[in-house]
Amino acid sequence: MNRKSLFFALSIVAIAIAGGLIGCSRNNTYDYQKVKYMPGKTIEQVLNERTDEWMAISGVEGVAIGEQKGKSCIRIFTSINPKNLRDKIPSSVNEYPVIIEQTGTFRALEQED
């Protein structure tokens, strides 16, 4: 092989290696720090999953989606002191705050015929 052919062949090899290195140095690996937060369950899903459990607790009159400081929260309405329910109902579920509010007993309105 003459010098010109050898130089050409080595140049091609060098370019191929450089191209491979550049390709590998680009962000081809998974960058966990740039991944956006993937939301968990919606507040509606959380409420649907927990409603039966919470409504079975003595003193719980109702559950709903509410708002606190401009953010969604879960509201638990109770006929007893909220402090008596804190060991049975967490203060948050899936990062949604759970507010226990004493409202009294709920009664259905009488319907007129």
Sheet holding 92-93, edge to edge: 60-68, 71-78, 96-102, 92-93
- The H-or-E segment that residue 101 falls in is strand 96-102
For residue 94, which phi and psi values (nearest 5 degrees)?
50, 40
DSSP 42: -
Using only the alpha carbons of the chain, give its radius of gyration: 31
Q: What amino acid occupies position 86?
A: R
Question: Can you give the pLDDT at residue 1?
Answer: 56
Question: Can you give the pLDDT at residue 43?
Answer: 94
Better pLDDT: 2 or 73: 73
pTM over 0.85: no
Answer whether 100's CB lies under 8 Å from 85's CB: yes
pLDDT range class, residue 28, cuts 50, 70, 90 = very low
